[in-house]
Amino acid sequence: MLGAIAGDIIGSIHEKSGIKTKDFMLFETYNIFTDDTVLTIAIAEAIMLKIPYENTVMSYARQFPEAGYGKTFKKWLKGEIVGPYDSWGNGSAMRVSPIAWAFDNLDKVMEEAEKSSIITHNHPEGVKGAQAVAAAIFLARTGAGKAIIKDFIQDNFDYDLERTIDEIRPDYKFDVSCQGSVPESIIAFLEAEDFEDAIRNAVSLGGDADTMASIAGAIAEAHFKYIPADILQESRRRLPINLLQTVMDFEEKFMG
C-alpha cells in the first residue's frame, strides 16, 4: 500500500504542471499526501474493521477536508448529493489498492473493487478502472509476470496497452477520467525497470501526476516486491501518525 502512497506524495507537486520529463527530484519541500492517500487508507480501514467502504471514505475525507477532492465528491461528502453520482473519474482507481492485498482470489478482488467504486463512481468506466487496477495488483502480487498482466487487462478491460510512454508523452494532457488515465498508468508500470522508474514514467506524462503515480506505484510495489528505503522513509515521514498507524496495521495483517 505504501507504493500507492509514495506515488501520490511524489506526484503531488506535479499535478497540472505539464512536466514532460523523468528527470525531477522525487521529494521537495512541498510534496504532500493528497486525497489518493487519504481514501486508500480509508479503504484499508474498512477492510480491517469489516464495515462498508462508504463509512470510512466519508469519515477519513471529513477528517482531511483539504486533501484535494473533486468538486462532485465534495458535494457527496457534504450530503448535497445522496448516493453514487455516476462518475467515470479515476478516484475509484486511485483508492482500490488495499483490496488487491486483502482478498485471496481474483473473483473476490473484482467483486470488492466494484463495491468500493460504486459508493461514488458507479459509471461503468469508473467501475472498470477500479477493477483493472485491483486485478493488475493482485496478479502482480501473486506472481504473474508483466506479459500476463498486460494480456489480462487488455482482454478483460479493452484498454490499449500497446503504446509506449515515449509515444504517449508528447500529446498527453491532464485527464481525470479512468479511461484516459488508468491505461497510461498501467503502461508506466509495464515499462518500468524498478519501482522508482514506474513513478517517474507516470509523472513524466504531465497529466494527473499524483493519481497516475499512485496507481503505477501500487502495481509496481506488488510486482517488484521492493520500495527503496529512502522513498519509504520520506513517504512515511510525510504522513500524520494516525494515517501511518493504519498503514502499519494493514501491512502487518495482510502484507507481512
List average pLDDT for each run of 10 residues in the chain, which is 256 residues long.
97 93 97 98 98 98 96 96 97 98 98 98 98 98 98 98 98 97 98 98 98 98 98 98 98 94
Tell me, what's the pLDDT at 109?
98
Torsion region of 169: left, alpha or beta (phi above 0 gives left; psi -120 to 50 gives alpha): alpha
Q: d(Cα 126, Cα 35) in Å, to the nearest integer?
A: 17
Q: Please tell me the pTM assigned to this model.
A: 0.98
Could you tell me the residue range of the domain that residue 116 belongs to? 2-254
Tell me, what's the pLDDT at 18?
87
Give the domain CATH number at 119.
1.10.4080.10
How many domains would you assign to the chain? 1
Tell me, what's the pLDDT at 256?
80
